[in-house]
Amino acid sequence: MIRVLNNILALFTGKPQIAEKQRSQETMNLILSRRSCRSFTDEEIDKDDMQAILEAGRFAPSTVNLQTWSFITFTRSAWREKFERPLPFNGMWAVVICADMHRLKNHFPDLKDTPYVNISFALFNAGLSAMNMTIAAEALGLKSIMLSETGKTGLLDYAYLKEKLRLPDKVIPLTTLVVGKAKGEKAGIPPRQPWKANVMEKSYNADNCEMLEDWQQQMFIGFKLTHPLSNFQKQLEMYKKKMVEAEEELRKQYHV
Ligand SMILES: Cc1cc2nc3c(=O)[nH]c(=O)nc-3n(C[C@H](O)[C@H](O)[C@H](O)COP(=O)(O)O)c2cc1C
């Protein structure tokens, strides 16, 4: 019981542990105070802000400067027209971020013999561009969330998005970045795993499962608090089903 109470307390009090000098640094503060936003207002986004966010994505670093990404943008109304449903969380603008190995085919045909390496590069680079865009949005006073499932918006709905967006082979819709102005106060901080479970010195520590028990409990409690009408187990079942379906499609793409 005490453990449960401590974990509830941790959910409300947990925050990044850094020194005051570092915390007061503007970019550092921006990175650590960013939270996924799940409720947006109807306020329009400046076109120059959209361009700046996309440019931040395009200027991310990438392996051998290959820029293995593509961004497909949607206004709120364009999203509704295309997908026949609203942009999740009442977002104002969205970017579907794809890991893109399609363009490489023409320039480096030999790459097809190393699918695991290609995909690892492509995913990593596209992830960096996504993060650059997220931080750019924060810097411009906007909020965002990356989605992989909610509203059929990412990797777990790969077959659906492939058809809807007419994606060629080797273009993987990783995530949709939904952007807008935040409605209301930001929620608490989703619990992070303990430092020692993630950060290791000199060699890998594989015996860190026990360390994660509190974190797991905090995740369950956090889910219950934020989704009182839903059930974590049911959610997990739905994820498992979608993961198996997405896996089938991805296997076809990677030819492995
Ligand atoms: C690639 C990716 C996909 C995500 N997909 C979803 C999603 O489908 N639905 C959702 O509500 N949140 C989604 N999230 C948000 C995560 O739940 C969130 O980042 C995590 O709980 C940590 O919270 P924070 O972003 O506020 O720090 C996704 C995040 C990432 C990076």
**Considering only CA atoms, which residue is closest to atom 12 of ligand 1?**
147
CA atoms in the 13 A half-sphere facing the CB of 120: 4
Decide: 190 in ligand 1 pocket, CB within 6 A: yes
Q: Measure CA of the first residue to CA of the last residue in the chain; give whole Å.
A: 48
Q: Identify residue 125 by its one-letter amino acid code.
A: N
> What is the spatial distance between Cα 96 and Cα 160, in angstroms, rounded to a whole number?
13
Which backbone phi and psi does 74 adopt, to 5 degrees? -145, 130
Q: What is the pLDDT tens value at each position of the chain, 256 positions in all? A: 888 888 888 888 888 899 999 999 999 999 999 999 999 999 999 999 999 999 999 999 999 999 999 999 999 999 999 999 999 999 999 999 999 999 887 887 776 678 888 889 999 999 999 999 999 999 999 999 999 999 999 999 999 999 999 999 889 999 999 999 999 876 678 999 999 999 999 999 888 778 899 999 999 898 888 888 888 888 889 999 999 999 998 888 776 5
Task: Supply the Cα-derived Rg of the chain in whole angstroms.
Answer: 20
> How many Cβ atoms sit within 10 Å of the Cβ of residue 180?
26
Decide: 192 in ligand 1 pocket, CB within 6 A: no
Residues 6+ apart with CB under 8 A from 210: none
Instruction: Supply the DSSP symbol for 71.
Output: E
